[in-house]
Every structure is written in structure tokens, then in C-alpha cells.
Amino acid sequence: MDAKLLLQGLGKYVLGLLLTGLLIFLPAGSLRFWNGWLLMAVLFIPMLLVGLALFVKAPELLRRRLNAKEREREQKDVLAWSGLLFVGAFVIAGLGYRFGWFMLPRWACLIFAGVFLLGYALYAEVLRENEYLSRTVEVQAGQRVVESGLYGVVRHPMYLATLMLFLSMPLILGSVYAFALLLGYLPLIAARIRGEEALLERELKGYRAYKQKVRYRLIPGIW
């Protein structure tokens, strides 16, 4: 057992749990913000299960997923702006609960919790299909183009899952205003995808042919 990897994963998990809780409940001014508990449940319970599964079955993939240090300046900027958007969205959602801004009804929040879990299932399937998946934009030694499964439908199913997860979160929290802010993530992820594809075309053999075979990046028939 790789104790160092286990401690690294658990450390990041606990830190993420604490920071997310603070960003949600501190602005809300109350632990009675039920939307916050709903989001914490659908976010961190599957995250723990997937992390433990990777630790047992694919430790190298888990190690790559824990590495978030980008090499290219453009990708670093994308991550920085994305982080600011998410901090702002959580704070706005919490303030919305505290001050009684317009909030979605409970049934709608539960529906978006279902959408979030669907996105997580898609995320888990992509992890199963692509052993080279990393949190950073890079080409690894011995990497090959993955064309099967979801990668035969769109070129970036992981980013599709990410969009489902990220855009569902403010709606689980019941905040239309936070959702409007997070729409700013769309041009950021588009820029990240373009930068990643430029790198893959340069450094990954067969990627140009794969682009001709699978036309759409993210959403079939649209983009």
C-alpha cells in the first residue's frame, strides 16, 4: 500500500471538504442552509468512493488526478479564473440564503442534484476508459489516442462531465445568481480545450486523424 499517496489524497479531500463548507455556510450565516448539506453530500460522498476505488485499482491514475500543477501560462490562468468564479458562486449562494434572495424551490434543487450525480457517473466512466487522464494538460510517455466508448462520441467527455457537475452546483444551492456567474466558466473551458488540442496535435501521434474521425469536442451536433 502506498501510504504517501493515501495521505496525500485524504489530505486534499479533507481540505476540500473544510474549504467548501466554509465558503457555503459562512456567507449563509447558518448551518440550517439545507441546500449546502445537499451539495456537500452529492459532492463529497461520490468523491470519496471514486478516490478509494482509484487508490485500490489505479493508483497511478489517482496520482495524476491529484497533480494540479499546470506548465503552460494560459492553462494556469484558466485555473485561476475558474477558482475565482467558484469562490464567488459559493459566496453568492450563501448570501442569497442569508438575505432571502430569490431561491429555487426544493424540488428543482433535488432535480439538479440528480443531474450532478449523472455527471459524476459520466466522470467515473471516463476515468475507467482513459488510463492517461490527468488534471493537467500534458502528454505522457507511451500515451495513445483513446477512441472507444464515450471518446467515440465526443473528443472531451471529461469536460462534458465537468460542465454537468460545475453548472449543477449553484442550482443545487438554489441560486440563479450564482449560476449566472458560473456561466463565465464556459469561455474558460472552451479556451482550455483549444489549448489542450493544440498540444495534443503537436505531441500525440494519431490525434489529428482522431479529430477527423470524431468531429465534436464537447456536445454532439453543436461543438
Buried-state track 190-221, b at ≥16 Cβ within 10 A, e below 16: eebbebbbebbeeebeebeebeeebeebbeee
Predicted local distance difference test score (pLDDT) of residue 53: 81
Question: pLDDT at position 179, please?
Answer: 96
Q: Which amino acid is at 32?
A: R
Task: Give me the amino acid identity at 152.
Answer: G
Q: What pLDDT sits at residue 71? A: 61
Residues in the chain: 223
pLDDT, mean of residues 108-130: 89
- Using the structure block, give the residue that is written with the C-alpha cell 473551458: 189
Q: In angstroms, rounded to a whole number, what is the distance separating the alpha carbons of residues 123 and 128?
A: 9
Fold topology of 3-213? Four Helix Bundle (Hemerythrin (Met), subunit A) (1.20.120)
Per domain, the residue ranges of the chain are: 3-213
- 81-117 per-position pLDDT tens digit: 888 998 999 999 999 999 989 999 999 999 999 999 9
**C-alpha span between 86 and 101 (Å, rounded):** 19
The pLDDT score that the predictor gives to residue 104 is 95
Split at pLDDT 50, 70, 90, the class of 214 is: confident
User: In this model, does residue 42 exceed pLDDT 90?
Assistant: yes
Q: What does DSSP assign to residue 66? A: H
Provide the pLDDT for residue 180. 95
pLDDT category, 36, cuts 50, 70, 90?
A: very high
Which one-letter amino acid corresponds to residue 45? I
